[in-house]
């Protein structure tokens, strides 16, 4: 059984997987993210990669705002099922990849102008591994715990800004 988050997505409620394994990005942080992205890239027709997709909220939000499609990577089979149901309920173009993010990133890359990543706070995302997937001048947004350390940034990424939303901080990078 899935639970319904308090916020909505395009006027509709998204389902999230049961339990504590998924920590959905807060509505305020998600709205802030997409407001910031407006000044950083043109989302219209873009392909989006959502790593540690959880409920699919970030990737699906991108598609609802004009991205052509989203690839959502999630290793939990129940969460992947919820993402598929959310995409179908919203009528949005999304491909759900049921895989470990590290294993997925080690595979043959595709080119994305936007990558969003919201790993569990205990997991350190290897930003270097995202580089082959991010087009030059592409944007990477990473959510981390406000009280934890910031991401380790490789030289090929320029830190653009960070924004705090309570317990979460969003970090924005551009591939140089």
- pLDDT by residue (tens digit) across 73-118? 999 999 999 999 999 999 999 999 999 999 999 999 999 999 999 9
CA dist., res. 76 & res. 99, Å (int):
8
Distance of CA 68 to the CA centre of its chain: 15
Q: Is 59 helix (H, G, I), strand (E, B) or coil?
A: helix
Q: Which domain holds residue 101?
A: 3-175
For the chain, how many residues are written? 176
User: Which of 13-27, 55-69, 84-98, 152-166 has the weakest average pLDDT?
Assistant: 13-27
**CA pair distance 87, 100, nearest whole angstrom:** 20
- CA-angle at 111, arms to 105 and 120, nearest 5°: 40
Over range 137-151, report the average pLDDT: 93
28-44 pLDDT, tens digit each:
888 999 999 999 999 99
In degrees and rounded to multiples of 5, residue 49 shows phi and psi of -110, 120
Q: Which residues pair with 164 in a beta bridge?
A: 169
Smallest CA-to-CA distance from 118 within 7, 30, 37 is with 30
CATH code for the domain in which residue 62 is found: 3.40.50.150
Nearest to 164 by CA among 140, 152, 151, 147: 147
Do residues 94 and 87 touch, judged by C-beta distance below 8 A? yes
Over pLDDT 70: what percentage of the chain?
86
- How many independent structural domains does the chain possess? 1
Query: Which pTM value belongs to this model?
Result: 0.88
Euclidean distance between the first and the last CA atom of the chain, given in angstroms as a whole number: 43
Confidence of residue 124 (pLDDT cuts 50, 70, 90): confident
């Amino acid at each position: 059984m899935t639970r319904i988050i308090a916020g909505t997505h395009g006027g509709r409620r998204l389902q999230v997987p049961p339990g504590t394994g998924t920590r959905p990005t807060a509505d305020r942080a998600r709205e802030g993210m997409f407001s910031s992205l407006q000044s950083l890239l043109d989302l219209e027709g873009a392909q989006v990669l959502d790593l540690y997709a959880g409920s699919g909220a970030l990737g699906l939000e991108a598609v609802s705002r004009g991205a052509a499609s989203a690839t959502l990577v999630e290793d939990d089979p129940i969460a992947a099922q919820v993402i598929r149901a959310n995409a179908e309920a919203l009528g949005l173009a999304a491909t759900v990849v049921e895989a470990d993010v590290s294993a997925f990133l080690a595979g043959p890359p595709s080119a994305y102008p936007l990558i969003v990543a919201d790993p569990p706070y205990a997991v350190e995302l290897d930003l270097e591994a995202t580089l082959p997937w991010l087009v030059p001048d592409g944007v990477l947004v990473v959510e981390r715990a406000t009280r934890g350390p910031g991401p380790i940034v490789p030289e090929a990424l320029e830190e653009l800004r960070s924004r705090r939303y309570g317990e979460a901080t969003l970090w924005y990078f551009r591939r140089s």
